[in-house]
Amino acid sequence: MKPIPPCESTVSTFLKNPDDRVAQELVAFANTLGGYLYVGVNWDGTVSGVSEPEHAESEIIRVARDGVYPPILPLLCFGRLEQNGKTVLVVHVRPGTNRPYRTDPRDAETIFVRTCSTTHKASVTQIRRFIEESCPIPWEERISANQQLTFEFFKKSKSPRPPRFDPLLGIPAALREPKSRCFSNFALALSDQNPFRFDISVFHDDERTVLAKTQSYSGSIPLCLSLVKNFLLEECLLGISKPRDMVWEHVKHYGVPPEVLDEALLNLVAHRNFLKSYPFVIHLTPSEVLFYTKGGPLNFTEEMLPLRIALECRNPRLVGFLAALRHTTDTGLSLNAMRKAFGEETIFQRIQVFPESFLLSIPRKRKEDYWREIVLADRRDPRLDIDGAICRFLREEGRARRSDLEEALKLPRSTTNYHLKKLLGEERIRAIGAGKNTFYTCEKE
């Protein structure tokens, strides 16, 4: 049993006797975060005690059964504390699942909530949120408040499998409910009027104190996912190289593999709680990409996440539609791409599930790491040498100083000077300028 706190708070309140305030306090706790009701304690925290604790407990049970709607009795646990020979009745109230609770079923003015150390009437916005959260119908299947929806994005879509349009209605098939002929929230998310935007912030530092740029995308969720992925790929582009088998097509190298971005974005949508009006949030730092949204995987802990994330999600119809459009190379919910790219242990470290939110962080390879790997590969491969690494670096960068080559390729100054003179003599590279301002460029081969 928790001891008596020194003062009232959001999750604790004092009552001298089980008077008329009992019903209000029980309702407020059930509608908010739950809490403890201490009967026999004055408002200033001094203990007065309850002379007949059995009678007080019976009175609170009667109020919880007959004076609160819906009945709140299953949420209550009773206990007692003895302090200085006086008895304090402790009532623990768990947060309810059938909100909003009230003291009069016909009067919305009797819905109470708890804020800091006060109990007050719930606002219209809070009442609306309670009703939405307690509704048993999934968000995707509810009737959309906006019925003036358009789907121009799909008409212009170049997807390998574009959706089939109804020839009479001119909208993608199966987006209207069969009985009511109304648009559902599932259709809202696919429409041009989708209200949930994607906000991206790029930072210069890992502490996210220096902002470099921001970008926001709105509209149909498939359109947003495509635009967000392209933006992230541009930010994570490390360089372009020619494959070692001498095929002429160039290969782009990314700090985060494209298939991992597909997987992360699809999980962001699949586990999103669309009852929350907040945008999708993505942060890019020099070392990682952070994906954050309201919601999170249902009914299992962080340790179970990599195993069961493919089995349960909040928005299965939306995920199925994206899969039908071949928006991803895989189903995306089993984290196969991330597991393949970063290993099993990294997945456990990169996923955080909070009570009402979901955070996925992906390591981002930096440019200097990329060039270091190329140099190490060159040294392991007898067909390639340092000359080839220098030429490739100059071709992809356009031009560079000697110090740039030393830093990127991790070469000693003497070695860099030797190979630069050799390449200049063979006329494979060209020098521009003089002294410290000398730049080197690679001649076309």
Q: Identify the residue with better confidence: 166 or 4.
A: 4
Q: Please check the confidence at residue 154 and state whether its pLDDT lies above 70.
A: yes
Q: Is 173 exposed, middle or buried (0-12, 13-18, 19+ CB in 10 A)?
A: exposed
Residue 113: per-residue pLDDT? 92
Identify which of 72, 50, 49 has the alpha carbon closest to the alpha carbon of residue 61.
72
Residue 246: per-residue pLDDT? 46
Q: Mind listing the pLDDT tens digit for each residue in 352-370?
A: 766 677 788 888 877 666 6
Residue 375: per-residue pLDDT? 56
Give residues with Cβ within 8 angstroms of 409, minimum separation 6.
371, 372, 375, 386, 389, 390, 393, 416
How far is the C-alpha of 237 from the C-alpha of 254, rounded, in Å? 4
Residue 383: per-residue pLDDT? 41
Q: Quote the percentage of the chain above a pLDDT of 90.
A: 18
Model's pTM, two decimal places? 0.58
**325: DSSP letter:** T
